[in-house]
Structure formats: C-alpha cells, structure tokens
C-alpha cells in the first residue's frame, strides 16, 4: 500500500458506516475532515474504544516505539508479522479503525511518470481499515508519542496489478469485533489474517498526476480519468 489516502467525510459519516451503537466521545469535531490527499505524519480521524465508548481523535499516521530512536516511524504493518513482531508487541492490543474514503497507488505504465490510481469501495461507502496504535486516553489530547499503523495484506485478483499490498478492510461486524477490548488477541489475529474484504468489493481508476504533490487538496483530485475497473476486471 502506498502512503497516500483520502479521508474527507465527517466523523459522523464514518461512525454511521461502522454501525456501532456505543456513545461517541468526539474529539474530532463535527465538520468534514476534508483530507483529500493525506500523506504520512498527517493527523487523521482514528476510531478506538475507551471503555464502553467509541472514541474519535485526530492522530498522527505513523508510529514508532520510544526505544527505536534511529528508525523512521512506519505507517503500515504487515499482517503476517504484526501480531508477533517485537516492533509492534507493545501496541498489538491497542486496536483501532481508520475509516477512509479511498487510497492511492502509483503504477509504471511507460512514460516519464508513474500513473496514479484511486481505489475505493464499489458502493462508495467508507473503508474500515484495521489499525493499531498508541491512542489518547481520558481527557488527554494526542501527544508526541501517539500514532498509528494501518495493517496491510497481500493483494489479490486484479488489484495486484495496481499494487501487491493493500489495507486490511473489514465489514462493520468484524470492525466492531476488532475494536472490542474483550476480543482475544488470537481471534483478532484471525480477523485480519483471514477475514478482510475481498477484491470484488473495490473498484479503481486513473486520477490526475496532481495527486503526487501533497500540497494539492480538493475534490478534483479524486475524479476518475478514463475507465473505472473493478475486481472482476470488467469496465463499467
């Protein structure tokens, strides 16, 4: 998965997609997030559980443990080793959902520049991506050590032509189970290893090269250029 995504709806839209009855502790605000071209280190709306409540905070995309002073802050964690790798050990129990509208990948198709692609749900609903991270708790605002990873898995089907990794996206029911602190660690590992959404749930298309400049923002960046293609490789 490349390090660029969109999160432009309001937190209430993302919570509605999660279909979670818990009361919301909203530290994000009610306005649309409006991140059309979010890059690593961006502050993004992250959902996690705090007791019986669902909590939303703006948290940095990327995290590293305090002892890894010479390492850059990774933004993604491979599902194959996230449950057992020493780098992630301390935060594996700290599960979260990063709800996004789409993500981007770049593909070399000849010419001087790679072609950017946008990947989204076929039905345009938010994508509920499994994440882990160090999250704010209590009355504390996000601090310098807070941050999160997006968990990624191997791509399959036509999506592998765009990129060999993608976020682990979960159905609302599985996202709720993933967030539940009572879910055993072994069950959480099985959810992200085996029960992510299939390629058929997504579609993808070319977008303008302007997405390559992180300073560019706005809805024009997510407009399709050319054919929209889905997991079955049939144009629509």
Active site residues: 2, 105
DSSP-assigned states of every residue in 77-92: EETTTTTT-TTTTTTT
Q: How far is CA 44 from the centre of its chain?
A: 10
Taking the C-alpha atoms of residue 177 and residue 170, their distance in angstroms, rounded to an integer, is 10
Which distant-in-sequence residues (6+ apart) come within 8 Å of 175 by Cβ? 18, 97, 128, 130
DSSP-assigned states of every residue in 215-231: T--SGGGG--EEEEEET
What's the token pair of residue 120?
């989204």
- How far apart, in Å, are the Cα atoms of 56 and each of 6, 62, 215? 17, 17, 25
Q: What angle do CA 14, 155, 45 make, to 5 degrees?
A: 20
Taking phi over 0 as left and psi of -120 to 50 as alpha, with beta for the rest, 198 belongs to beta
Taking the C-alpha atoms of residue 42 and residue 147, their distance in angstroms, rounded to an integer, is 10
Note whether 12 and 30 are within 8 A (CB): yes
């Amino acid at each position: 998965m490349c390090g660029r995504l969109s999160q432009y709806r309001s937190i209430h839209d993302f919570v509605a997609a999660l279909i979670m009855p818990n009361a919301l502790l909203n530290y994000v605000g009610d306005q649309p997030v409006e991140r059309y071209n979010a890059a690593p280190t961006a502050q993004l709306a992250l959902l996690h559980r705090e007791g019986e409540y669902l909590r939303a905070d703006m948290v940095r995309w990327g995290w590293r443990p305090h002892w890894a002073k010479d390492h850059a802050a990774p933004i993604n964690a491979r599902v194959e080793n996230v449950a057992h790798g020493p780098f992630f050990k301390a935060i594996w129990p700290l599960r979260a959902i990063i709800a996004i509208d789409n993500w981007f990948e770049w593909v070399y198709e000849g010419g001087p520049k790679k072609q950017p692609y946008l990947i989204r749900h076929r039905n345009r609903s938010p994508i509920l991506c499994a994440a882990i991270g160090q999250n704010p708790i209590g009355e504390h605002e996000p601090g310098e050590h807070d941050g999160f990873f997006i968990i990624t898995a191997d791509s399959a089907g036509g999506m592998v032509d765009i990129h060999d990794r993608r976020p682990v996206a979960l159905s609302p029911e599985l996202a709720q189970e993933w967030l539940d602190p009572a879910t055993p660690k072994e069950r959480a590992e099985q959810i992200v290893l085996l029960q992510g959404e299939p390629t058929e749930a997504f579609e993808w298309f070319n977008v303008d090269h302007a997405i390559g400049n992180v300073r560019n923002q706005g809805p024009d960046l997510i407009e399709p250029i050319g054919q929209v293609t889905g997991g079955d490789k049939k144009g629509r």
